[in-house]
Amino acid sequence: MTTATEALGLDPQAAVVILTCDELGFSYGVNSAIYAALRMHQATSASVMVPAPWARAAAAHYNGEDVGVHLTLNSELDQYRWGPITQSPSLLDGDGAFPRTIDDIWEHADTEEVRREWQAQIERAQLWGFAIGHLDAHLSGVELKPEFFDVYLDLAEKYRLPIRLPGAADERRIGFPFRALATERGVLAPDRVIALGTLGDDEATLREALSSLEPGVTELHVHPAHDSPELRAATPSWETRVNEVTLLEIAAKILDEGGPSAPQRIGYGVMTQAMRREK
């Protein structure tokens, strides 16, 4: 039985899915697409990128949806930038924004400035009114430098929040037992994380992939956005983001149909409740 399914009181052979929309706050079109997906019960969770330009607008339209914090230390786009919300010189590049790459932040960031920045992002989201349900990290990987992972885990334990982590099979590749460390501290995580788009881009392929998911909790994440000139100017991946609106609709339709092999959908909030019961 996996740690997550055990904590949730689920059948150990059950396949359970969290459908998460990342980067709430990126732009107006991202906000509108993510809230539409949550309110139509296509997605079950989202995460807000607090330093991003449209994060405050996302907070203004929040209605109690299952939202976590997308902890951010990078600003990867050439012409659309954001930076730290704390006074943290080691987190700045030459433009006065976060660095563009993970390698850059790993090489130059001071660990205590990372801690202060991430904590400030969590607390600002709370101040804006979000009932935070989990933590994950922008550009998945920033948190997997051991010093930064310690901060990530400390914050998850402090706020009693589940976190996104790669699956157990990645521990040897990454070089330290991050999942075991999280378990020791009572911090829950999905058993594996998969980008929904890697499972297929049509209904037949997605149907087969979703029916074949392993037992345990699988997080499927997407970056949906409504098309606009703003989005096209901001990111070269605009078309993928627009297509992920449809991809999410298809996945939700398949899961809604149910059937003996269809995974159950949950939000991160269920894992948060389980962690806080164990406290």
**What CA–CA distance (Å, rounded) separates 226 from 20?**
17
217 within 8 A of 15, measured Cβ to Cβ: no
Q: Which residues are catalytic?
A: 22, 223
Token couple for 1: 């039985």
User: Can you give the chain as a three-state secondary structure string?
Assistant: CCHHHHHHCCCCCCEEEEEEEEEECCCHHHHHHHHHHHHCCCCCEEEECCCCCCHHHHHHCCCCCCEEEEECCCCCCCCCCCCCCCCCHHHCCCCCCCCCCHHHHHHHCCHHHHHHHHHHHHHHHHHHCCCEEEEEECCCCHHHCHHHHHHHHHHHHHHCCCECCCCHHHHHHHCCCHHHHHHHCCCCCCCEEEEHHHHCCCHHHHHHHHHCCCCEEEEEEECCCCCCHHHHHHCCCHHHHHHHHHHHHHHHHHHHHCCCCCCEEECHHHHHHHHHHHC
**What CA–CA distance (Å, rounded) separates 193 from 164?**
7
